[in-house]
Structure 1
C-alpha cells in the first residue's frame, strides 16, 4: 500500500499550517497576514492564529514594526537534522561497503536519537550466502551490545551512572555489570568494543564510536556477524579497521 496516499480524514489545521509554511518558504520577502490569508484563501482570523502558533514554535518569525512574517530558524533546525542524517549516511556508506566486503560481515551506522537510543541509518551487507540483515530505521537502547560499549567509553559517565543505564538493558545472555564495565574500560584503550554472544547468542558485534567536535559520541559504526566466523585475530583486524575509519569520520564530522 502506498504510504503517501491521502488519509481518510485530513487534519485541516495541520494542512493549513503546512500551507502557510510552504508559502513563506517560497516568498522572496516577509509577508503580512492579510496577503497570506488572501493568497491561500484562508479566513483572516484562522490565518492569524496559525501564524501565532508557528511563531510560538519558532518555525516563523514576526517583525513587529513591519507586521510581516518570514520563515524562522526553527524550521531550518528541523531541516538541518534531516539533512545531516542523510549527509552522514552518504559520507559513511563507502566505508561500510568496504568493511562488509573485506571482513565478510554486515556493517552498520547507528545515530544517537532522543531518549538514549540509537537508530540504524545506513548499512552494507557482505556477499556471503549467510549474513545478518538489519533494517534501516531499527532502534536500540544506546548502551546495548558492542555499539553501547563504544558509546559508553566516550560518554564521560561515572561508573554509578553507567550502572544505572546498564540496569535498564535487556540482553539474550546478559553479562555481569562488572564484566560489561571492564569491556567499556578496554574500549577506551583500544578504540573499539566487542560483544560476543551477549546481546544475541551466536552473534558477535564489533563497534567504534564517531565523535563530534566536543568529543561526544554522536554515532557508532558496528560490524555484525555470526560468532563462528571470528577468531581473536579477525576480531582484532576488524576492530582496528573500524577504529581507523571512525577516527577519519570523526575528523570530518567535527571539522577538526
Structure 2
C-alpha cells in the first residue's frame, strides 16, 4: 500500500510540475533516485506517464490520464449542459461537433463528440489531445487567458504541424486579438491537413475559459463565405452552454 501511495504522489507531482526530471522529483520527495526512477518507469509502462518528446529526461502526464478525464467529466455540469446544444448545432450545420477542455497549457482534450451524417467527415476520438496554438479550440482558449500565460506558451516554442501553423509570436498574438474581436476562432489546415474548424470558448462566471465548442469539417466543405454565420452559431452555442451550466 505504501508503494501505491508513493506512486500516486509522484503522479500528482508530475502533473503539477511537468515536464520534470528524476532529480527534481528526488529533491521534492527526499527519496532515493533509484526509487523515483523505478516508479516513473512503472507508471510509464502503464500509460500514466510519458517522456517529453523534446527532452526525454523529463516526464509528463501520459495518455491514460487524459483518457480517464473525459469519463470523469461525463457526470459534470459542463457535460450535461453541453449535450443538447451540441446536438442542436450538429442538426443545424450537419458537421461534427466537439466539446474540448484545456489541460493547463499542455493542450486541449476532446471530452464529447456529436457526429454528422456525411460519409466523409472529420474524426477525433474522445480523449484525443491537440496543441493550443495550432487549433481553433486551443486558440479560442488562449484568447481568453492572461498575456503572461500566452507568453509562457510562446517561450516553450510553437511547433509547426504544417505550413499554415502559426509559429511566430507576433502572428499568434494578432490572431488572438482577432478572436477576441470576432468571438470565434478558425483553423484551416493549421494542425491536420484538410481539416478545418470553427470554435468558441465556454466561459465561467469570472471569464475563465472552461471548455470550447467546435464545428469540424473537411477542407472540401469549408466555405469562407459562410464563416461569419458559422462563427455566430458557434459563439451563441458556447454562450448557451455557459448559461445552462450556471442554471440560467
Fold shared, TM-score > 0.5 on shorter chain: yes
User: Is contact 2:85-2:237 (8 Å) kept?
Assistant: yes
* CA 1:248–1:13: 2 relative to 1, 3 Å: same
TM-score by length of 2: 0.64
Aligned to 1:117: 107
User: Where does 1:158-173 land on structure 2 (aligned, <5 Å)?
Assistant: 158=148, 161=151, 164=154, 167-173=157-163
Aligned to 1:219: 211
| Counterpart Cα distance in 2 of 1:146 and 1:244 | 16
TM-score by length of 1: 0.62
Unpaired stretches in structure 2, ≥5 consecutive residues: 6-70
Unpaired stretches in structure 1, ≥5 consecutive residues: 1-10, 16-80
SS in 2 for 1:98: helix
String of CA shifts for 1:158-209, please: whole Å, max 9, x gaps: 5971662672444233234233322211110111000111112211111100
Aligned to 1:180: 172
| Counterpart Cα distance in 1 of 2:109 and 2:149 | 25
User: Is contact 1:153-1:184 (8 Å) kept?
Assistant: yes
Aligned to 1:154: 144
The answer on 1:190 being equivalent to 2:173 is no
| Counterpart Cα distance in 2 of 1:85 and 1:116 | 24
| Counterpart Cα distance in 2 of 1:110 and 1:215 | 17
SS in 1 for 2:166: coil
Q: Which has the higher contact order (CA 8 A, sep 6+)?
A: 2
Aligned to 1:65: none
SS in 2 for 1:116: coil
SS in 2 for 1:133: coil
SS in 1 for 2:121: coil
Point out the structure with max Rg over C-alpha: 1
